[in-house]
Amino acid sequence: MIKGIGVDIIELKRIEHAIEKNKRFYDRILTEREKEMVKQFTTLHRKVEYTAGRFAAKEAYAKANGTGIGGALSFVDIEILPDENGKPEVYLKGKKCKTAFLSISHSTQFVVAQVVIEES
């Protein structure tokens, strides 16, 4: 049975502007493991795509969970990491969330993420 569904879309330019304006943006949005992954990318465009994907996925998860980002759940409580095949998976406070299913998609201007959470 489905507990919740969340979707989020973000403009790449908005994330690019945030990264260029605020050097602490990564610290606010990404976990340590996610920041290690973003360091591997050599172009700003790829860093923006990656970060925007994580931002949208975390927003979508928080919506599906019914809490939103705020008091009970922060961006760094939610972690999006690839499995061995590159499929993004949700981790909540360091533990794999086996009931959350995530899809992230990119276009030239936008990133969209959708999360479905099943009852455990």
Report the catalytic residues.
63, 106
HSE-up of residue 42 (Cα within 13 Å, Cβ side): 0
Q: Are 18 and 118 in contact (CB under 8 A)?
A: no
What length is written for the chain? 120
